[in-house]
Chains A and B, each alone.
Chain A
């Protein structure tokens, strides 16, 4: 119990961020027209690629001669980048068409 309280004390700010982000996420998406569900899903998909920052840190702190750690980190960075770059590009392609359609 005590350790839990200490943990909460130590991580107060993080916990606040989490709580506020949860409500923010709900509010931000609110009432989206179903037309936009697919691109929105894809855009959100790209944003959680932010996990790549963790991958970069893991990789950047690994021992230069610990090859198994380096290899693991390399794949983490590669996959994370795929998620970010691929996600944003795909979303842009979808949304490009919406714009085009509006003009036409």
Chain B
């Protein structure tokens, strides 16, 4: 009997390619996502009903259906409920699920038919690393896991990697069944150690990298089953994820190796802090309110602090209030503002901020010299002038928002503690800068109340 299954798989592969392509342009992105999703549905349905191995179809439909149902319901609920600010950890969590799925497949296939192909092992190792790494990333992003590094960690990582590699090769030759559990455990530990030392600002890069790992793990499954849609889907994501990772590194002017060795996250903060404090000025809420109200051009620089405080709605309200008073308010968006590249745009869009008020970095930098007041909301490193002037700084060379060109800078932070990169920011000690301490949301709400009293 002629099977329709190959057609389903071809359809799936084509939709993945077309969907991904459409997702790379803002105007077609949403449709692209739907295209890919429908192709996935066709490929899954085809597998369920048309898959034949030696003339025999699949069974255990009760189990499969309950797995699909439980996963589907959980997935929809989690994806619908998650707050926009928590998006990065959600992506990381889902990625971990994919990695775990790939690892579980390899684990059970191994039991079935011994070591059919080295791809079973590769899928197991890569999937496990991706799962463990993603879980750590998830924990870090939601604040339950702290950065952790110890001396010689890179050495331990490399050693563990080599041991894993050796064990896998030995496994392939000698086929010692119990070793498979050792390899799984080793891969899980490696995943944890790999992500643990990497610092906050670098997390998106790591998530993207783990994303492409899971893609490769999925492709290993494709080799295992001679399944072309798993192969194209997996490899496509693997290579696209790698490119995305590199693009992100470029946006921060860092190399991938640099991110992985973690020279500015967590471990290597020693070099930066030396520049040391100075005196800074504080500004009162009422003074800030007056300054903003009587400005003509205001530029808001939203950052991580705004995202954490969920202050995007308050921020939009402030913008409307000031606009009503004749102030021209615009937003300067750094490519890596927020918790992931492009995340800030998503957050502000959620709060209904109009698209034409959002300026990309180059456009904003041209305008700062005409700006009366810059309001920095919880951004540190993306406005740090050290990136331009201090060759010894770990972020030297990273493109920044040149807020110091404006007439006055008001910086909202919770305290004088340095930001993600762990480096001091001389901007805060400049004469034209005033600090406004407090949680972004609280401060914005108080500012709004103050401005309303000015009338």
Contact = CB atoms under 8 A, between A and B. Distances in A.
A29 B64 contact: no
B108 A50 contact: no
Contacts of A49: 40, 94, 98, 101, 218
Nearest to B109: A58
25 contacts: A25-B236, A29-B20, A32-B247, A38-B340, A44-B240, A49-B218, A50-B229, A60-B48, A61-B112, A69-B111, A70-B60, A73-B104, A76-B108, A83-B75, A83-B97, A83-B98, A86-B90, A90-B82, A90-B87, A90-B91, A90-B94, A95-B29, A96-B30, A100-B349, A104-B354
B176 interface: no
Interface in A17-63: 17-18, 21-26, 28-30, 32-62
Interface residues of B, number: 116
Interface string B12-45: 1000110111011111011011101100100110
A55 B225 contact: no
Interface of A: 11, 14, 17-18, 21-26, 28-30, 32-62, 64, 69-70, 72-102, 104
Given A22-B235, A54-B230, A83-B101, A37 B247 contact: yes
Chief secondary structure at chain B's binding surface = helix
Contacts, number: 386
B71 interface: yes
B336 interface: yes
Contacts of B72: 81, 85
Contact of B37 (A24, A39, A46, A96): A46
Contacts of B352: 100, 104
A42 B208 CA distance: 9
Contact of B91 (A26, A41, A62, A96): A41
B265 interface: no
Contacts of B104: 55, 58, 72-73, 75-76, 79
B3 interface: no
Contacts of A46: 33, 36-37, 40, 94
Contact of B51 (A57, A84, A85, A92): A57
B20 A84 contact: no
Contacts of A26: 239-240, 242-243
Chief secondary structure at chain A's binding surface = helix
Interface string B40-79: 1001100110010100011111011011101110111011
A51 B234 contact: yes
Contacts of A28: 17, 20-21, 24, 236, 240
A25 to B, nearest CB: 3
A81 B94 CA distance: 10
The 8 closest A-B CB pairs, nearest first, are A81-B71, A60-B58, A25-B239, A77-B67, A85-B75, A86-B75, A50-B233, A37-B341
A58 B107 CA distance: 10
A51 B102 contact: yes
Nearest to A54: B221
B346 A94 contact: yes
B303 to A, nearest CB: 15
Contacts of B248: 34, 37
A51 B221 contact: yes
A54 B211 CA distance: 18
B32 A79 contact: no
B121 interface: no
Contacts of B88: 38
A83 B94 contact: yes
A51 B75 contact: no
B108 A82 contact: no
B249 to A, nearest CB: 12
